[in-house]
Amino acid sequence: MKNFKLKPVLLPLMLAMPVFAANAADSGEQKKASEQDVQSQLETLQRRLADLENKDNKEAQRKENYGVTLYGSLRPALTYSDFGDGESSTDVTDFFSRVGFKGDIAVNESITAFYQGEWDIDVEADADFGDARLGFAGLRGSFGQVAIGKQWSPHYNIVAEVTDIFNNRSSPFGYDEASPFRTNQMVTYSYTKGGFKLDAGLQFNGSAENSAGGDNSQANDVDHVDSGSIGVGYSFGDFYVGASYLDQELGGLEERDFRSIAGSWKVNETIYLAATYQDIERDTGAMVYNQSSFDVAASFSLPKNYTFKTSYFDWDGDGQGRTFDGYNLTLENQLNDSVRVFVEWLSRDIEDANTQNHLSVGIRYDFEGLF
């Protein structure tokens, strides 16, 4: 066996090998420690992401269960009025701007509780909050829906809603003269199945003082039930028909009975037609007046998001109050899902008085969001 001699150049390398080995061992340990640190950070990040996801799920569940929907509609206009007697005016007007909130929550698998509150914004005055338009709560389920508070009149829901398609605060114009829109201190029941709907309501200890578009001639000075209504409607295809009966005790010996019918027809994607008729008997205790209202409305969709609407209306006061007929012409442009602009001309020919004309140019901005 030969003896090998180490060359001087290899000696430093041999001396350094233990150091390299030690460094390599240290590097391996550091790498392992680094991998463990990265793994720990990943696990921490995953836990945080899971917590955030859980928090988002809880927030989504909270909103689903308790979320409040805030909504509103601002409807200012500039209106020129010619009263037919040589007098005229130009004013900032408001077509029932409002803001409100609503929501519901499942009580159990079969019953849901709901609520809504809504207030008038008086744009044509100081733009402050006006009277409450709506304020009610109730329960709904397979049995239907029961609600208590100030709410839309069942009579309106059945016969007037089909012709209430205009921006003007007097729409529908014949119906508006003496009939209910929103009614205070009311208990309602409604039931819908397929195309059939039933709507009924009783007003208890109501007041005649009911603004913001509510019925301003509700019952007064009555101890128990002030007014009651019941109506049925049926939708089949593009057609709807409805009939409603409303009885109001106005205090003292005075009362009113409303017998009303309505119908609508969606002719196609661009044409809509509707009509509402009411026969009203007003008994003052000394006299009986046979009054009536009639509204017919039509809507025509045009290119570029324009819509043309028109209405003819008639109110017969039978010697108590005014009698008139007239028409309304409206041109709207829907700028997007929330904003529309409109021009509206309302003409009312009052018997034994003057013809009044009103020209309005306005904007409507609707919004709604879940909080």
10 Å CB burial of residue 184 (0-12, 13-18, 19+) is buried
Handedness of CA 178, 179, 183, 186 (dihedral sign): positive
What is the DSSP secondary structure assignment for residue 318, as one 8-state letter?
T
pLDDT along the chain (371 residues), means of 10: 46 45 53 68 78 66 72 97 94 96 95 97 86 96 98 97 95 94 96 97 69 48 80 98 95 90 98 98 93 98 98 94 95 98 97 95 96 81
Residue 5: the pLDDT is 46
The residues pairing with 369 across neighbouring beta strands, listed in sequence order, are 70
Residue 44: the pLDDT is 79
The residue whose two tokens read 């200012």 is 76
Residue 20: the pLDDT is 44
CA torsion 301-121-174-338 (nearest 10°) is 10
Domains and CATH numbers, the chain: 72-370 (2.40.160.10)
Backbone angles phi, psi at 246, to 5 degrees: -135, 130
Residue 318: the pLDDT is 92
Cβ atoms of 57 and 360 closer than 8 Å = no
Residue 3: the pLDDT is 47
10 Å CB burial of residue 145 (0-12, 13-18, 19+) is middle
Residue 45: the pLDDT is 78
Residue 196: the pLDDT is 98
Residue 145: the pLDDT is 98
Cβ atoms of 275 and 301 closer than 8 Å = no
Cβ atoms of 55 and 63 closer than 8 Å = no
CA torsion 344-261-217-315 (nearest 10°) is 50
Q: How far apart are CA 171 and CA 167, in angstroms?
A: 7
Q: Where are the alpha helices (DSSP H) in the chain?
A: 11-66, 154-155
Residue 7: the pLDDT is 47
Residue 128: the pLDDT is 83
